[in-house]
Structure 1
Amino acid sequence: MDALDVLLNRVSIARLVEPAPRAEQLDTLFAAAMRAPDHKQLRPWRFLTIQGEARQQLGELFVSALLARNPQAAPEAVTKARAMPLRAPLLVVAIACAQEHPKVPVQEQVLAAGCAVHGMLLAAYAMGLGAIWRSGDLVHDPVVMSGLGIADHEEIIGFVYLGTPEIAPRKPSAVDLSRFVTAWPA
């Protein structure tokens, strides 16, 4: 697949089914992540893979987080939290690992980690895999962070859901670039 095609046509794919990416495909995704722009080559990121039975364990962790925030949570909310990790055959927890550095501020390191995730999404699309980057309250939840072993200097920047697209990816809609690009001075 042509690089510009990937850049211009990648879309998030929420409906994912088996099979999960194969080991060599995962290696390619992580290799793509390593090519993110990264001042001083700090590589301020790491990833956790969650598949198989571990998805049910993550669902129980999500339920624990929900009940810690709201002990009176509706049964439907508990069921939803438990099922979230089952929406794809494989999840990757993307973690920004900022380091103290005199020339690379924390914000820049977090942005670099985000670029690493974007590289994974582009590589997934190029290989015909389905992927979607999800975030929400759970990425900041102390119960989730503790359960996943997130250190004090780290933060979850998202959950990347990966699998086989259930249906063909949609075509992205055209974007009016003039809404986002202006010359300076005006």
Structure 2
Amino acid sequence: MSGEPDHSDEGSVETISAVSSRMRSAPSAALIAPASTSSPNVVPLFVELEALDPDADLQDPDWPGALQLIRDVGAQVRRERDRAEEIVQQAHSLIQRTVQQAEWAERRAEMAEAKACEANLRADRAEMSLRLTEERLQQAEELARAAQAREREAQQWLRRLYASLKHEQQQLTRGTL
């Protein structure tokens, strides 16, 4: 073991002693610089600075600028988080309002259905009352017709009686004269 990792097996794990000996022997720039991405399984964690700005001075970084950038990004993340929380709260309020409106609509529909059932019952009772009234009217008409027939019969009987009495009176008056 010369301190170099064994690349014969891609899935092998380096030991801590091998990594520490490699770090001691390697220059610090090689440790900071990204590893070569010759393997498709290796994903670089940081973008190479040379790819962004080839004139960048790697020896003298702008620490205050980097800190300000971190603060700006943090503030933006907090603003976005607050905005997301506000959107979630608005969504919850909207959902609650929608659920409440749906419940109210359901109650109104149930009340309307109950009123419709009551109206149907009243209509059924009115219809039954109308039928009973029509039956009573028919019975009354039949009774009236029967009464009229009896009245006509009584009038005919009275006419005959009158005619008979008149005839007898005429015969009695002829016989006494």
Confirm or deny a common fold (TM above 0.5): no
Structure with higher Rg: it is 2
Structure showing the higher helix proportion among its residues = 2
Structure showing the higher strand proportion among its residues = 1
State the TM-score, normalized to the length of structure 2.
Answer: 0.16
State the TM-score, normalized to the length of structure 1.
Answer: 0.15
